């Protein structure tokens, strides 16, 4: 390891330990490393690489999808999707747990935000699960893990970020690639919840605390929200518009639903909604710009090539290398949020997996699935913190009942990693169309 790489690691890890915001850690570490080159151009290089990092047409989709997600969260979609989930699976054994998972999957996919799914779905269903005999900690753990499936099911902002960092990867292919893995992980979580529910003796059916609608009326209420996913995917896959254009259409559609159709967003609240979306977008874009500067430093120092050579020299068995990468990503996910992790580790690990013959689209889903698990693990897991806040309990009490769900997600991760068709079948079908 040369001196420049050591400087980068020391600054980055040291600032993280001091609880400095991740974007600042990345930017300062990259700046310190460039200064160590000794040519006096650190300020210029940082400015140039940061601005170039966010000057990407696909990244324009992020502010629009963020705004669409906020509008969906405020516009009454969560309640209608929960009613639809209750009509579908509410009367089955373990029905309320199934409703929780299915509603989180649908709302996470529609809004593109796992944290929004936890907040919107969990605030109503966690108290109802407790009333029906489930422990509060079980309900919180189930909500936190279920919400992450919405990041695998499109549309997903993190897929756009990965597509930009990875280079020649189609956003449409990534969107399609995440559908089956997201459903499989959701089904695995449902299977675990059913086993735990039957063992605990909690009530098996649910009325969701409100009238249980017929499937027809519930579907009628949920269809306008679900159409958003079909509109975005159908338009992109049909070549009608790009992912960026689809994001703007998603905003217009979410605004129409919330203001005109459902009438749950008064016009007076729109400035606050736009401001919240702008703040989230600013954080993401700062992370992207700073991370692109760090990626330039890593490439300049040939770190990806060194990591690739080192890992390939450890073993000639692709299975062992893929397992090692998964373990490293799981560790990364415990202390780093999803966006910076994708920005930093995609350039490092992508050359390794492509050398093993893995499709970059499949690796994108593997990477996201790993980091989804990290959203539920302390000390940084955003979904875990939000879910504990909504459920009014502590992380220490939630982690034990969450362990079976971790194993379900790990099984899903192994399927995604070692069963390529799970994530590549639909994109290849698209290519044949």
Which tens digit of pLDDT belongs to each residue from 205-224? 444 444 455 677 777 777 88
| Dist. CA 87–CA 102, nearest whole Å | 11
Q: pLDDT at residue 240 above 80?
A: yes
Q: What is the pLDDT of residue 205?
A: 45
Which tens digit of pLDDT belongs to each residue from 143-171? 999 988 888 988 888 898 898 888 888 88
Burial class, 330, CB count within 10 angstroms (exposed 0-12 / middle 13-18 / buried 19+): middle
Residue closest to 3 by CA, chosen among 33, 26, 30, 25: 33
Query: Do residues 261 and 224 lie in contact, with contact meaning Cβ atoms separated by under 8 Å?
Result: yes
Burial class, 55, CB count within 10 angstroms (exposed 0-12 / middle 13-18 / buried 19+): exposed
The tokens for 153 are 């099911």
Q: What is the pLDDT of residue 1?
A: 57
Q: What is the pLDDT of residue 432?
A: 66
* Percentage of the chain modeled with pLDDT above 90: 16
Q: Stretch 3-32: mean pLDDT, rounded?
A: 84
Q: What is the pLDDT of residue 213?
A: 58
Q: What is the pLDDT of residue 287?
A: 84
Q: Where are the domains of the chain?
A: 3-432
| Dist. CA 156–CA 147, nearest whole Å | 13
Q: What is the pLDDT of residue 41?
A: 67
| Dist. CA 111–CA 115, nearest whole Å | 10
Query: Do residues 393 and 136 lie in contact, with contact meaning Cβ atoms separated by under 8 Å?
Result: yes
Q: What is the pLDDT of residue 42?
A: 66
Convert 383-418 to b/e letters by CB count within 10 Å (16 or more is b).
bbbbbbebbebebeebbebbebbbebbbebbebbbe
More confident residue, 350 or 114: 350
Which tens digit of pLDDT belongs to each residue from 288-347? 888 888 888 888 888 887 887 788 787 778 888 899 999 989 988 887 888 888 888 898
Which one-letter DSSP state was computed for residue 36? Answer: T
Which tens digit of pLDDT belongs to each residue from 92-125? 777 788 888 888 888 877 777 787 788 878 888 8
What is the chain's Cα-based Rg?
22
Per this entry, what is the length of the chain? 433
Q: pLDDT at residue 410 above 90?
A: yes
| Dist. CA 402–CA 379, nearest whole Å | 14
Alpha carbon 40 to its chain centroid, in Å, reads 39
More confident residue, 66 or 419: 419
| Dist. CA 296–CA 26, nearest whole Å | 12
Lowest mean pLDDT of 311-325, 343-357, 362-376, name the range.
311-325
Q: Stretch 255-277: mean pLDDT, rounded?
A: 87
The DSSP line for 181-205 is HHHHHHHHHHHHHHHHHHHHT--S-
Reported confidence tier of residue 406, pLDDT bands at 50, 70, 90: very high
Reported confidence tier of residue 421, pLDDT bands at 50, 70, 90: very high
| Dist. CA 213–CA 406, nearest whole Å | 32
Which tens digit of pLDDT belongs to each residue from 26-54? 888 888 888 887 666 667 778 888 888 78
Reported confidence tier of residue 417, pLDDT bands at 50, 70, 90: very high
| Dist. CA 384–CA 337, nearest whole Å | 12
Looking at every residue in the chain, the average pLDDT score rounds to 83
Q: What is the pLDDT of residue 202?
A: 55
Q: Any residues with CB less than 8 A from the CB of 368 and at least 6 apart, and which?
A: 151, 152, 156, 158, 159, 162, 178, 338, 342
More confident residue, 195 or 238: 195
| Dist. CA 361–CA 354, nearest whole Å | 10
The tokens for 34 are 């460039």
């Amino acid at each position: 390891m040369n001196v420049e790489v050591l400087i980068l690691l020391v600054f980055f890890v040291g600032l993280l330990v001091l609880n400095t915001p991740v974007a600042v850690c990345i930017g300062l570490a990259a700046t310190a490393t460039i200064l160590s080159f000794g040519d006096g151009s650190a300020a210029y290089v940082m400015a140039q690489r940061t601005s170039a990092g966010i000057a990407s047409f696909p990244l324009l989709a992020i502010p629009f999808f963020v705004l669409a997600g906020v509008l969906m969260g405020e516009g009454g979609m969560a309640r209608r999707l929960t009613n639809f989930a209750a009509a579908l699976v509410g009367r089955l054994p373990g029905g309320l747990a199934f409703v929780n998972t299915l509603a989180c999957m649908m709302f996470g996919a529609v809004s593109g935000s796992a944290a929004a799914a936890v907040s919107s779905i969990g605030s109503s269903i966690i108290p109802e699960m407790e009333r029906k005999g489930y422990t509060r900690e079980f309900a919180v753990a189930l909500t936190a893990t279920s919400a992450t499936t919405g990041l695998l099911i499109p549309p997903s902002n993190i897929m756009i970020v990965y597509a930009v960092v990875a280079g020649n990867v189609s956003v449409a292919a990534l969107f399609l690639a995440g559908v089956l893995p997201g459903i499989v992980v959701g089904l695995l979580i449902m299977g675990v919840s059913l086993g735990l529910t039957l063992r605990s003796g909690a009530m098996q059916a649910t009325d969701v605390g409100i009238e249980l609608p017929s499937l027809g009326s519930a579907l009628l209420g949920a269809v306008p929200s679900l159409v958003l996913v079909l509109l975005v995917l159908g338009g992109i896959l049909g070549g009608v518009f790009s992912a960026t254009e689809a994001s703007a259409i998603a905003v217009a559609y979410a605004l129409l639903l919330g203001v005109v159709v459902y009438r749950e967003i008064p016009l007076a609240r729109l400035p606050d909604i736009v401001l919240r979306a702008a703040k989230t977008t600013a954080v993401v874009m700062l992370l992207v710009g700073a991370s692109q500067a760090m990626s330039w430093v890593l490439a300049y120092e040939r770190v990806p090539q060194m990591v690739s050579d080192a890992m390939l020299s450890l073993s000639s068995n692709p299975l062992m290398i893929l397992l090692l990468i998964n373990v490293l990503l799981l560790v990364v996910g415990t202390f780093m949020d999803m966006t910076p992790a994708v920005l930093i580790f995609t350039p490092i690990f992508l050359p390794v997996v492509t050398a093993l013959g893995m499709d970059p689209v499949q690796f994108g889903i593997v990477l996201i699935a790993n980091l989804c698990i990290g959203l539920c693990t302390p000390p940084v897991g955003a979904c875990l913190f939000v879910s504990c806040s909504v459920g009014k309990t502590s992380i220490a009490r939630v982690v034990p009942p969450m362990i079976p769900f971790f194993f379900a997600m790990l099984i899903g991760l192994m399927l995604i990693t070692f069963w390529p068709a799970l994530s590549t079948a639909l994109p290849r079908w698209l290519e044949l169309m």
